[in-house]
Structure 1
Amino acid sequence: MHRSTPTLVTFRLFVVVRTALLAALVLHRRVTDRDERGDVPGWVLITVMTAGLVAGLWAIAGPALEGMLRQALDSVR
């Protein structure tokens, strides 16, 4: 069986990290090179849906969160 030397392990780690960085760079270039003007309706939909989710969660969990905050602040005083 072949034993890994520290140099070989370091080299393999370097190759893996370098490959990951190159893949990330290629993906970043692909994403940033696109024309995103046509994606405005998608971003608007995401924003509206997020606002709706926050409002819904706030309506459901608001009283419980307010009670927890008051209890935490009262314990600090």
Structure 2
Amino acid sequence: MKILTGASRLTQFLLGVTAVLLSRSGDRERGDVPGWVMITLMSAVLVAALLAIAGPALEGLFNQAIDQVSP
């Protein structure tokens, strides 16, 4: 059994939701809502993944910059 990280679980969940939404898009009169939902979810996953990876480095840069500010 493979242990998934939080980002991997979120990605799997969002891909599953997207697949369900896309499978229900048989009615073309309703517009392209599932496509926009997929783009939005993928963007959210990308932001979450980047924040998870770069968060500690960005926090370190911020703290370093604040420490250099003189009162």
TM-score normalised according to structure 1 size? 0.48
Q: CA deviation at 1:39?
A: 1.5
TM-score normalised according to structure 2 size? 0.52
- After the TM superposition, which residues 36-75 of structure 1 pair with which residues of structure 2 at under 5 Å, given as runs? 37-75=30-68
Q: Tell me the residue number matched to 1:32.
A: none
Larger relative contact order, structure 1 or 2 (CA cutoff 8 Å, min sep 6) = 2
Bigger helix fraction: 1
* Percent identical: 71
Number of aligned positions between the proteins: 41
* Bigger Cα Rg: 1
CA-based RMSD: 1.2
Structure 2 unaligned spans of 5+: 1-29
Q: CA deviation at 1:62?
A: 0.6
Structure 1 unaligned spans of 5+: 1-36
Runs of 4+ in 1 over 2 A off after TM superposition: none
Q: Quick one: distance in 2 between partners of 1:41 and 1:73?
A: 44
